[in-house]
């Protein structure tokens, strides 16, 4: 599967909602639903984990109803679109060169 470069702007903004621990948990749950290639998942997970670590987040269980509400909110709309695209195109890669936030 080729690199999807048209998603560069949504990719950066999709990862930027990680601004507190609830958003960190929501981002990880959305990533787990995706069908990205292993290398793309690893890059996204590393970016999310860096943001979570900087915020002092742990991998404790958050209330599912609160996290699901957050996942379905406007804040994660672009992230959901990326995940849905990965489900339609299993093994999809993303172009991380255009997102300085992920390097």
Return the closest-CA partner of residue 84 out of 28, 37, 34.
34
Rounded Cα gap, residues 28 and 22, in angstroms? 10
pLDDT digit string (tens) for the chain, length 103 residues: 444 444 444 455 565 678 888 888 888 888 888 888 888 888 888 888 888 889 898 776 666 777 888 888 887 787 888 888 888 888 877 776 656 555 5
Chain centroid offset of residue 1 CA = 19
DSSP lists the bridge partners of residue 94 as 4
Give the pLDDT of residue 4: 41
Residue 4 and residue 21 in contact, taking contact as beta carbons nearer than 8 Å: no
Give the pLDDT of residue 87: 85
pTM: 0.68
Other C-beta atoms lying within 10 Å of the C-beta of residue 58 = 10
Domain coordinates of the chain in residue numbers?
3-102
Rounded Cα gap, residues 82 and 95, in angstroms? 12
Give the pLDDT of residue 75: 78
Give the pLDDT of residue 46: 85
């Amino acid at each position: 599967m080729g690199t999807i470069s048209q998603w560069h702007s949504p990719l950066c903004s999709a990862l930027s909602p990680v601004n507190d621990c609830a958003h960190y948990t929501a981002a990880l749950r959305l990533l787990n639903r995706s069908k990205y290639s292993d290398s793309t998942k690893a890059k996204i997970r590393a970016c999310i984990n860096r943001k979570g670590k900087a915020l002092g987040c742990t991998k404790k269980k958050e209330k599912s109803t609160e996290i699901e509400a957050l996942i379905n909110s406007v804040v994660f709309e672009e992230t959901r679109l990326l995940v849905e695209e990965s489900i339609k195109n299993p093994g999809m890669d993303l172009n991380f060169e255009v997102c300085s936030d992920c390097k």
